[in-house]
Structure formats: structure tokens, C-alpha cells
Amino acid sequence: MYTRERRGIFRSAEGFDTVARSSGLDAAFIKKVLHPFCQYEAPAELTARSEKEAGAYPPALHLFHTETGETVLGRSVFQPADFTGLRSAFFTHHYVIPDGFHDNEHSAYQTWLQASFADHYDIEEGMDLPQLQALPVQADSQAAVSNQAAPALLQELGIDEKVFKQLVYACISAAAGKKKVYIVLDVPVEQLSAKAEQLLFVLFGRLPYALRRVLGFVTYAKEPQSKKGLHVMFVEKGGLRLGDRSIEKDYLFELAAGRVINVDLKKSEQPYLNFAWDTLLDPERSERFYAFAEQMLADMEPSLRISLDSYDDLCVLFEIEEGRVDLYREHKHAVLRALLLYLKPVGALNAKRRLDQLFHILFAQEFELVKGGHVPDAAIAGYVRDYHDINPREHNDGIVEFFIRSLNNALSKQRQDVTQAIYELLEESPALSRAFYARVLTSPGLPALLFDPYMKKSMQQTATPTDLIDLISLWVRNHPLLLEQENYVRLAEAQLVDKLHHDSEPVSAVNAVLDQLDSLEHHPKQGIGRYSGGTAFADRLIYAANLFLLRELEPEQLSRKQLLDIGFLRMPKEFQAWVERFDSRIRSKAAVMLALYQWCSPGEDRVEEVLADLSAEERERTQHIMRKWLQQDVVSSNFKDITLAFCTEIQSGAVDYRGLLLYLHKHGKSPEVVYQYIEWSVKQPLFSKARGLVPAYANAIVQYFKTYDREAFKNKEYVKTYFSSPSPALKPVYTKVRAELASPFVRFMRRNSRLVQIVSALLVIVMAGGIYFMVQDGKTPADGEADPNTDGTPPVNSQPASPVTDPEQPILTAKTVKGEGEEADKTELIFHFKQPAACQEFKVDKLQIIGKDESNLYDSTTGSELSKECAQETADETNADPAETNPDSPETKLDTEQQADKSTGNTEKDSEAGSDDAVEGGLKAKDTPSSTGAGTGSSDTTENEDVLSSGSVDDVQENQSYTSQVVLKLDKVLDLSLVEKVVADGITYTLADESSLSEEQAPKSTADEGE
């Protein structure tokens, strides 16, 4: 008890304090929980008129529930005078009711609203209060309202059906949330608390049991107050200020003004609110429902027990159980969803037999519709599936048949949406799926109708081969019956091969599939090997994957790593025995694949034997693939493999030397790779014999430098590292290369040494004669200032006219060049020239090739590619006078070298192709006093320059070698044995043998040689 006194339990001075308590109440509980509710503010209306009568002031009955489970029921009343008689006060009396105190918790609200309270207390009687065994009740309480009087009370308070439903809705929502309910009754303030108690009596009777246990209230307050535990508050008229932001979101019932604020019933149908209104005069029915709801919510989450949605669902189920089947037809989804929601908790089937039986009744209605050909809604089928997950033992056969008929109806009426949905529902329920497919797979006709099409579509929708095997694994583990279904096995094989076809890395995909299948068969817990047909099933898929690699893949499509990853190549004997059952094409491909595998395998020393066992076509194919693989790895460690890739005959050791060197040149990282290979090859028996290098290989080396690497001997580092001190076998080859790479003038001097000696001797004689005549005329070479025109003869300073020669007729040869990589073979026509100028000027606008049977083998103006390889042209090639100098004199040697250097535009001071080569084979001659001065004056040399006649020029041309060529690449391959002649721009050529290019003609004798 709490009031204003001289002293209290917690204070010794006068003031408001607890003046009496039961011994069982803790002091902290009193201060923290009870004291905040010990208050009273007199109504403004009564204060304004200075009302002295205590009975006019409405008592404030309040009730709330603590977090520890107690229920606190209290009342505060107004006291006109305190113990002094000088000031007003109030008196509060609380009952603290422990949980389980009432025999009938469901009707405890009736006791609370009729409880008897003390109005005052004399502290002289002591501060201890006895603990009560029962809550005292007023003998003449007016709070209790009978069911028959309830409509009259509501009408008196201005509450119609809509407002009543809004009140019930607000009370439930406030108990479940944070909003408050503030009610202003249209009654005199003196009756406010009494009418509030009566209204609460009616409202509590319309609330489910769980809400009765949590709802708190106060029957009078001067103004709205937000206190924890108080959900419903009755406020004095004028106490609600609509502009007050503290209550703007709360539920406001200002019935005195006929306004309801913030209570909007959004749903068009409110099953429970309708039920609460309809049972206002039928308390027995409402109590049956509350008992039903209490049972259904007993094992649910606490939040669901005070949710209006829960009671909406349960109210519909309760009414359907009572016989209102029309509610099910109108709300099928909501009804089935609610049934499954309350049947889902563990043990609910036994505790809620009423709901389980209700589901069976409703399912029977759906089953009858399906039997009549109806296609069920996918959601309805989903609810049936969910029930099977909850209770798989009961009605299993009926549910399986429901799905079989539903699928059949959907397929027959082409309802693809329902068909797909039902299949997905089955996949999501392992128990139902096993039961369903066990029936389907063992029923004649059903697999082809309900299983095969769906399974094929499911397999087709997988993205990768591994995804497909995952799907297959899932199905065979859940349904071992599939292991012996031939249609399923064939479908799995076909779909696996199809997925492998579309995979960008087929070898990796096959290996991943093989690993999956091995795990599928031998998994310790889920392996299918323990089932009948499991091992055979896995073996068939493994065979299909390996057969795909053998049949569908070509070795040209594979990288070296991919080939080495193919498992069956690791067992050559078994592999060879396996491929014997296939046709010749597969056997040939298998031989190539195995040869490549053995060639690439580390530590394999029998590569030559492996290649020798292949046919010529297989060996060439194997070598072609290996050349492609080695393109990115042309290094010294692979020289042996590269050599084998160009062997044209394994037994004899024949090698395509030119193709080999060209391959190294094209794919090596630098020219040094070729030089390194040449050094390595000297030690190999395929290239070197007792007398030196194989001639064909030596010629190929020379031709390589002439065609692709003419600057090699001009690089100081290369010369120092590779060419300055070669092995004995390479020395003559490099000497010949130097000679071939020398300038045209130097090469002419070497080939025509006798003519050079004769011309040099004549030049010396002419110069000596000239000097003699000059002395006879009184002039010497030192008389540089003498008038050159004293004898009236004009000086001769002009250069001799170049001799007129006919255009050079080239020699034509032809060859077939094999393509590298993916390139096709082509035929090349080569026009060979001695004169670089003729090479540069040569062109072909129209080409025609005539066969021996006079047929037109080739005719094109644009279908060929022209490339020129012309030697550098020098002025000395046509104007050099071999009789101008004496090659044997030291001065002449030096002048010859300098002149050769000027003609080529190069300074080969450090080159090996120096002065020794320039005078090779020259004749010895006597030294002259001043051979260098004799050739410097233009007037003195004019006569000597005329010594070289046009015939001599012809001799020079005739003795030159074929250093230039024009290559015409045709766009197809021709059989050269059928070619009769080639017509290029109207000029007819016949094909010559390449050996004719090396034949050097002897120089013609001229009259000048005898002078």
C-alpha cells in the first residue's frame, strides 16, 4: 500500500511512501516495479469545480504483467485530505499475483476487474500485510457484463460493429507491438472508470487466451501516458490533444467526438474479427475456438500466439471443421498453408490430430478432381508435397498416384508450366521422389511417358560434362533402379558424348568425368558399385568417354600436354589391342597418337623405332604435328626431336636439310639458334661422315646463308663465336659461304683470273708507251701546267659508252614446297638471273602453263605471289675493266679491294672475305714504278678503257653465276612431270634442272688476247 503519511517503509520523514507490504515482496521489486505505478492525477473537470466528494473521483484500476511472470493488479483512488487534513493525496493498493495463481487462467480477467481494494491504511496497525490465498472480489461489483447485456453496453458507449472490430484489432496489435490504445468514452467523468471496466470485461471475453495473459490496461488517466506494460488507457475527455506528436502514431478512439484515428483495417476480410463480433452472444462457441487455438499454438513460436494472422488462419480452419467447406474453396491456398504451418513442428501430428484429419478430408477433394482429369494448381501440388515430407508414412500411395495423374493430365493438356513445376517439386523432396519414380519405373508404359522426356531435357540443360555426371550420380544414387534401365544408360551415354563435343577442353573434361565416375562407383558410403548393375553402368560411361577421345578428336587439334593427359595412351599394349576392332582410319589415327605419346614421354629412347614402325603417311603426319608443337620451343635441348621431325627416311637417315634449316630460321628466337644447331649437327651421324659433312647438308647450309642470312659473316659477335674457328668439317663449308657472299666484282675476279692477268699486262704496256711518247714530246707527268691544247687536239675527258647488250634470258626451274602448320602445299616457279638489274626489272603480268598434251594446266593473272631475291647491283659489274690493273702487284691488290668495297657499299675491314680472296689465282707480274698513278688521270685512261670490247663484256656476263632469282608462288600444286612449257607475258620458257645452274662456261677467246 502506498500513500502520503508521517513515515513509511523506505523513509522516516513524512511524504509519499509504501506504508505496508507483504513480507514476501522484495524491496527492490517494490521500488523499481510498483512505485512508478503509484500515482493519481485528479480529473481537470473535477478540479476545476473544486469537487470535495471523494466518491466523485474515478478510481484508476490498472493491470500489467512483469517480465518475470507476475501479474500486478492495482488501484489508485483520490483522497481529499491526507493525515494532516491540510492537503489532498491518493492511495494506491497493489496485488502481486504470481504465475499460476489462478485455477483458471483463461477467465482470470473476470476476477481482476471485480477485485476488492482498500481505500486507506492506518500505519499504527503495522507495516506488514498478510499474504492472500485468493484474490478478494467485490460483492456488489458492476464490472461483470453478461453476454446478453453486452450489445446494450456497446450501444450506450457508441460502439458499433466497425468500432468494435477496430477496438479488438487495436488491442491485439498493441499487445504484439509498441503502439498504445487511448480511449475517450462519452460518459461523465465520475462514471469513466466503471464504464471502462465493463468495456474491458466485454473485450477480454473476445480475446484469445494468449492475449488475455499479456494485455495491460488502466481505467482512468488524466492524459495519455506511455508506460511499459499498459496497452489500453482510458483518458478523461479533453485529455487527447491531436497535435501531440507523442501519440500521433498510436490508436486513438475519441468516442466522445465519434472519431477513430490510426486504425485502418486494410484487409477486406477479417475472419477472426468477424468471428469475434458474430460470437458476441455465443460465448460457448467462442470458448471452443479459443481452446482450439490454444492447442494449435501450443508448440509454435511465442510471437505467433499473439498475432492476429494466426487467429485469422485458425478461425478459418475451425469453421471448415465445423462444416463450412465453402471457406476452403474460397481460400484453398491459405487453408492448406495454415494446415502445414501448424503440423510442421516435431510431434505436431500426434498433438494435432484434428488438423491432420482435416488435411486428409481436403486432400480427398483434390484427388477426386484430379481423377476427373483436372490439372491441379502447382501451388496445391506443392502443399501436397509438403505434407508428404511431414508425414511420409500415411497416405503415401495416394499421394504418389495424385502426382502421377496430375502429370498425366498436365501433359495431355499441354500445360508445360504445371508439368515443369511438378517435376521440380518432386526433385526437391527425396522421399516423395523415390516413391514416385519407384512406381513409374516399374509400371509398363510410364517410363516413356513420365520419365524419359523429362530426364532428357534435364540432361540437355546441364552446362558441362561434369555437371551432367553430377546429375546422373544424383539420380542413380536416389533411384538405383535406373542402373538396369537400358534407355537411361543409353541416354546418359549419348548426352555425355554431346557435352564433350561442345567442351573447349575435351581432354580435361574427359579426365574430370573419369574421376567422377570412379568416385561414383567406389565411394565408401554412396558408391553405386554395391548395387546390381552399378559397376557395369560406370564402365559403360567410362568407355563412352574414351571412345569419344579416340573417334572424335584429331591429334592435330591437341596440344602436347593434352595428348600426354590421355589416359589410355599410357597402356600401349591394351590400347593397340582395343583399336584393332575399328576401321583403318581409326587404327591409323591411333598409331599416330601412340607414336606422339611415346615420342613426347620423358625417358623414351626408342623414338626412331616407333617412327620406323609407322607407314609413310602416318610418319609424315606424326612429324608434321611434332613440328607444330616444337615451334614455340626451338632450343638446343630439342634439336634431336626437331631433326627426327624432318627425317624423310628413318632407316637410311635421309633428312630434309633445307626444310630443317628454314624451320629453325623461322621459329628460332634468333639466328644463333641455326648456328648452334649447325655446330650440334656436326657431331651427329645423320650429318657428318668420315670425309666431312654430308654433301647435301653442306649445300643446304650454303644455300641457307645465301637466301636467308646474308649478313651473318658481317656480325663481329657471330663471327667470333661461331665462324672464326669452326670444326674441321665446317671450315670448308664456311669458306664457300664467304665466297658466295662476296661482292659480284670479287667473284668475277676469282673466276676470270687469267683474263685479269692478261688485261693487267696490256694496261701496263699501254701506260709505259704513253709515258714514253710524253717524254719524247718534252713533257713529263710532272708538267701539270702545260697547255693541253697546244697541238690543236681537244682533250678526251668523256667516259666510254657502255656496250649495248641484249636483255638476259633467265633459266626457269620449279619445285613443290610443303606447307608449314595449317598451310597447304604449293608449287613455286623460280626464274634465275646472272644480272641483278635484269632480276629487278623482271615482272609477270600473265602466266600460262601448257601441259604435254597441250592442255592448259594453269592460267592466271592474279592467283600467284611474286617475290624477288636480287643480288646488290654495282657499277663495276658492267663497266669494270679487267685489263685496268695488275692483280698481282700489292698496290693493285689494295686498289681492287677498295674498289670492291665501294661497289657494294660496305667496309669489310674486319671481314674474313678480305684481300686474300680477291686475288685468288692471279698471275705474278713485275712491279711498276707507279701503278696507282697511272689510273688516276681521266685523259690518260680513256684510251686504255677502250681496250675492253663488247665481246669482253659478253664474256663477263657469260662467266657470272646465277646469284639472283624471282620466285612465283602459285596458289595450287601442279604435277611438274606433266608440264611442257611456261608462257610468261608472251615469252616461252622450258623447265630446266637445277644442276644446270652450277655449270660454268669457259670464257670465249678474243683477238685482244693475242695482242
pLDDT digits (tens, 9 = 90+) for 676-685: 999 999 999 8
* 185-189, 398-402, 848-852: segment of lowest average pLDDT: 848-852
Residue located via cell numbers 630439342: 638
Residue 494 confidence (pLDDT): 95
| Reported confidence tier of residue 82, pLDDT bands at 50, 70, 90 | confident
Per residue in 316-334, pLDDT (tens digit) is: 999 999 999 899 999 999 9
Q: What pLDDT is stored for residue 775 in this prediction?
A: 80
Count CB neighbours of 797 within 10 A: 10
Q: Which of 42-46, 288-292, 931-935 has the lowest mean pLDDT?
A: 931-935
Q: What residues does each domain of the chain span?
A: 2-129, 150-324, 461-553, 560-626, 634-741, 750-781+875-949, 811-873+966-998
**Which residue has better confidence, 893 or 213?**
213
**pLDDT at residue 937 in the model:** 37
Q: What pLDDT is recorded for position 783?
A: 47
**DSSP structure class, residue 568:** G
With a CB cutoff of 8 Å and minimum separation 6, the contacts of 624 are: none
At residue 4 the predicted structure's pLDDT band, cuts being 50, 70 and 90, is: very high
Query: What confidence tier does 604 reach under pLDDT thresholds 50, 70, 90?
Result: low
Q: What is the mean pLDDT of the chain?
A: 84
Tell me the C-alpha distance between 245 and 224, whole Å.
Answer: 12
CA angle at residue 403 from 399 to 407, to 5 degrees?
170
Angle formed at CA 488 by CA 482 and CA 494, multiple of 5 degrees: 145
Q: What is the mean pLDDT of residues 223-250?
A: 91
Alpha-helix residue ranges (DSSP H) falling in 719-872: 731-741, 744-751, 753-776, 836-841
Q: 778: pLDDT confidence band, cut at 50, 70 and 90?
A: low
CB–CB of 968/828 below 8 Å? yes
- Res 311: pLDDT: 96
Neighbouring CB atoms inside 10 A of 526's CB total 11
Q: Which of 18-22, 124-128, 271-275, 730-734 has the lowest mean pLDDT?
A: 124-128
pLDDT tier, 909 (very low <50, low <70, confident <90, very high otherwise) = very low
Q: What is the mean pLDDT of residues 145-150?
A: 92
The x, y and z cell numbers of residue 463, run together, are 552446362
The arithmetic mean of pLDDT across residues 891-907, rounded, is: 37
Q: What is the pLDDT of residue 299?
A: 92
378 DSSP β-pair partners: none
pLDDT of residue 946: 37
pLDDT in tens, 757-771: 788 788 888 888 888
The DSSP string of 75-109 is EEEEESS-TTSSS-EEEEEEEEEPTT-SS-GGGHH
Number of neighbouring beta carbons within 10 Å of residue 666: 11
